[in-house]
């Protein structure tokens, strides 16, 4: 069982008990936070957060706040005597995934089956029954590619 979460503009594949370094989170050390889940995979089923499932939760605990490795940045312009050297260290948080929960998903799936079909069928289902998509209708608006022509004025014949 694993989940794909988004934090700090990046996506991570996480499992329960895993520790990882992410962009600095605005919570203190030892505190818990919720991560934004994008996908949940549990052997038999795949659940996306866009499937109308608000119960999908990934909880993590901040183990420590750290700083990343030092990066040295050098600017140099030849023949001008211009050199600049700066450095950067990224602020990071080490987190531990404490729980991945997709609660209530089985209940929703069984309720949907009782309600009947949703009306949409996959291509594979349509091919199996010989059903075809409805034919496209002709577009009745202005023709594409043509440019607007000025209206011709009617002459009196003189």
User: CA separation (Å) from 109 to 35, 65, 101?
Assistant: 24, 40, 16
- The pLDDT tens digits of the residues spanning 118-132 come to 566 667 776 777 777
Domain assignment present for residue 44? The answer is yes
Domain assignment present for residue 76? The answer is no
Domain assignment present for residue 45? The answer is yes
Q: Which residue has the tokens 């549990």?
A: 42
**Domain containing 8: what range?**
2-65+92-115
Domain assignment present for residue 85? The answer is no
Domain assignment present for residue 23? The answer is yes
Mean pLDDT for the stretch of residues 12-34? 96
Burial class of residue 100 in the structure, from the number of CB atoms within 10 Å of its CB (0-12 exposed, 13-18 middle, 19+ buried): buried
pLDDT-based confidence at 153, cuts 50/70/90?
A: low
pTM for this entry: 0.59
What pLDDT is attached to residue 129?
A: 76
CA distance 7 to 27: 13
- The pLDDT tens digits of the residues spanning 65-89 come to 999 999 999 999 999 999 999 999 9
Q: Are 102 and 56 in contact (CB under 8 A)?
A: yes
What pLDDT is attached to residue 115?
A: 45
Domain assignment present for residue 121? The answer is no
- Mean predicted lDDT score pLDDT of the chain: 81
**Among the listed residues 69, 113, 68, the one whose alpha carbon sits nearest the alpha carbon of residue 91:** 68
CA distance 126 to 93: 50
Domain assignment present for residue 125? The answer is no
| Structure token pair of residue 145 | 């590619």
Domain assignment present for residue 143? The answer is no
Domain count, the chain: 1
pLDDT-based confidence at 25, cuts 50/70/90?
A: very high
């Amino acid at each position: 069982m694993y989940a794909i979460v988004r934090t700090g503009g990046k996506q991570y594949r996480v499992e329960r008990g895993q520790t990882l370094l992410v962009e600095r989170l605005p919570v203190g050390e030892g505190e818990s936070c919720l991560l934004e889940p994008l996908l949940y995979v549990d052997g038999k089923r795949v659940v996306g957060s866009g499937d109308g499932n608000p119960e999908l939760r990934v909880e993590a605990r901040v183990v420590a706040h750290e700083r990343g490795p030092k990066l040295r940045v050098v600017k140099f312009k030849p023949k001008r005597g211009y050199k600049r050297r700066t450095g950067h260290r990224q602020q990071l948080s080490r987190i531990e995934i404490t729980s991945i929960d997709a609660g209530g998903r089985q209940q929703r799936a069984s309720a949907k089956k009782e309600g009947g079909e949703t009306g949409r069928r996959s291509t594979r289902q349509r091919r199996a029954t010989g059903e075809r998509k409805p034919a496209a209708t002709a577009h009745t608006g202005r023709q594409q590619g043509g440019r607007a022509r000025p209206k011709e004025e009617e002459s009196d014949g003189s």
